[in-house]
Amino acid sequence: MSSLRDIASSTQLAEIARLLDALRHPLGPSPRDLPGGEHGPAAQQLRRQTRSMSTSALRGSVHQTLQLLDTRPSVDPQAYAASRRRLGTLMSQRAVEDDWIARLQARRKRLGRRGDTETRKSLDADIQVRKHQRRRLIDRERHAERIEEEHERRYQTLCDWHLDHLEQLVQARSHAQALLDRQERALDEVVAAPPPYLVAELGPPPRPLEARQVWQQGALAILRFRKDYHIQDPDRALGNPSIGASHRLRRSQVEVVIDQARQLINQPPEPFPLGEHLNIPDVGLP
Q: Please report whether residue 271 resides in a domain.
A: no
| Mean pLDDT, rounded, of the chain | 88
Q: Angle 112-115-121 (CA atoms, 0-180°, nearest 5)? A: 90
**Pair (85, 150) in one structural domain:** yes
Give the rounded distance of the alpha carbon of 166 from its chain centre. Answer: 18
pLDDT score at 286: 43
Mapping DSSP onto H, E and C, the string for 214-253 reads HHHHHHHHHHHHHHHCCCCCCCCCCCCCCCCHHHHHHHHH
pLDDT in tens, 44-81: 999 999 999 999 999 999 999 999 999 999 889 899 99
| Whole-number Å distance between alpha carbons of 167 and 189 | 33
Indicate if the alpha-carbon torsion angle 205, 211, 212, 213 is positive or negative: negative
| Whole-number Å distance between alpha carbons of 15 and 174 | 14
**Pair (155, 170) in one structural domain:** no
Of 117, 147, 182, which closes a domain? 182
**Pair (157, 211) in one structural domain:** no
Q: Please report whether residue 237 resides in a domain.
A: yes
**Pair (86, 149) in one structural domain:** yes
Q: Please report whether residue 46 resides in a domain.
A: yes
Residue range 177-202: mean pLDDT, rounded = 94
Residue range 101-110: mean pLDDT, rounded = 90
pLDDT in tens, 124-174: 899 999 999 999 999 999 999 999 999 999 999 998 999 999 999 999 999
Report phi then psi at 221, rounded to 5: -60, -40
| Whole-number Å distance between alpha carbons of 47 and 191 | 27
Q: Can you give the pTM of this predicted structure?
A: 0.73
**Pair (208, 244) in one structural domain:** yes
| Whole-number Å distance between alpha carbons of 120 and 132 | 18
Q: Which domain holds residue 101?
A: 77-161
Q: Please report whether residue 211 resides in a domain.
A: yes
Confidence band for 271, pLDDT divided at 50, 70 and 90: low
Residue range 109-126: mean pLDDT, rounded = 82
**Pair (173, 67) in one structural domain:** yes
Amino acid at 65: T
Q: Please report whether residue 230 resides in a domain.
A: yes
For residues 241 and 61, the model is more confident at 61
Q: Please report whether residue 100 resides in a domain.
A: yes
Q: Please report whether residue 232 resides in a domain.
A: yes
Q: Is the pLDDT of residue 225 over 80?
A: yes
Count of domains for the chain: 3
**Pair (57, 114) in one structural domain:** no
**Pair (254, 137) in one structural domain:** no
Task: Identify which of 173, 181, 170, 190 has the alpha carbon closest to the alpha carbon of residue 286.
Answer: 181
Q: Please report whether residue 175 resides in a domain.
A: yes
pLDDT score at 91: 95
